[in-house]
Chain A
Amino acid sequence: KNQVEQSPQSLIILEGKNCTLQCNYTVSPFSNLRWYKQDTGRGPVSLTIMTFSENTKSNGRYTATLDADTKQSSLHITASQLSDSASYICVVSTQTGANNLFFGTGTRLTVIP
């Protein structure tokens, strides 16, 4: 069964600290893995997309890693800011196109001053 699991479900950190969110998947075949940021009451915004051959990809203070062998990914946020408070969703695709996305349930991150 194709599944995407994320941990932790929620996380509270102090402003300025770093954090790492985890994503494990059983989706097969694998095409690419995406991380999205979703602010409350808004649509998801893409942070990174990684294909099978990519181990790491950065977008500003966000760095995603991918281990296709163990089917794990992580999203590392450096020097957190209050505006980083959001849900972070891991999404795995089975095809090269835009279809067939499998969504994780997300990690709710709260950054406090």
Chain B
Amino acid sequence: GAVVSQHPSWVICKSGTSVKIECRSLDFQATTMFWYRQFPKQSLMLMATSNEGSKATYEQGVEKDKFLINHASLTLSTLTVTSAHPEDSSFYICSASRREGIEQYFGPGTRLTVT
């Protein structure tokens, strides 16, 4: 149990366009979902935390208008990178946790390349 999926697994887009990444908890209800970004040879950096039905809480330095997060249901969260630029190219990973759980279950990640 506790499987998290992401779609797409990789995406290439042109500069200035928007890209949506989906994160789904397949076999449990995720009351909280997390979005991370990981640059090559670096560790995961938390971008935002979202609770189902509430606005996401963004980490310092993360532009909320650029990285739109929606957590509309207990099994789905989406991250939309708006007006993407080459510097947004990165590996985006989501994770999900159950209510009162301590474990974060990570998705397989989405490789975004902005040309």
Q: Residues of A at under 8 Å CB distance from B?
A: 31-32, 36, 41-46, 49, 89, 93, 96-99, 101, 103-106, 108
Whether A42 lies near B102 (C-beta < 8 A) is no
C-alpha gap A96/B103 in the complex (Å) = 10
C-alpha gap A43/B3 in the complex (Å) = 11
Contact of A89 among B43, B45, B95, B111 (CB under 8 A): B43
Q: Answer whether A43 and B106 are a contact pair too, CB < 8 Å, given A99-B32, A103-B44.
A: yes
**Could you show 17 A-B contacts with beta carbons less than 8 Å apart?**
A31-B102, A36-B106, A43-B6, A43-B93, A43-B95, A43-B107, A44-B93, A89-B43, A89-B44, A97-B97, A97-B100, A98-B102, A98-B103, A98-B104, A103-B43, A103-B44, A105-B42
Q: Answer whether A42 and B108 are a contact pair too, CB < 8 Å, given A49-B103, A98-B102, A98-B103.
A: yes
Whether A99 lies near B49 (C-beta < 8 A) is yes
Contact of A43 among B41, B45, B108 (CB under 8 A): B108
Contacts of B49 in A (CB 8 A): 99
C-alpha gap A91/B61 in the complex (Å) = 22
Q: Residues of B at under 8 Å CB distance from A?
A: 4, 6, 32, 34, 41-46, 49, 91, 93, 95, 97-98, 100-109, 111
A-B pairs with CB below 8 Å: how many?
Answer: 52
Contacts of A99 in B (CB 8 A): 32, 49
C-alpha gap A101/B106 in the complex (Å) = 13
Whether A45 lies near B32 (C-beta < 8 A) is no
The residue on A at minimum CB distance from B45 is A103
Whether A106 lies near B43 (C-beta < 8 A) is yes
Contacts of A36 in B (CB 8 A): 106
The residue on A at minimum CB distance from B106 is A43
Whether B32 lies near A98 (C-beta < 8 A) is yes
Q: Answer whether A101 and B46 are a contact pair too, CB < 8 Å, given A41-B109, A42-B109.
A: yes
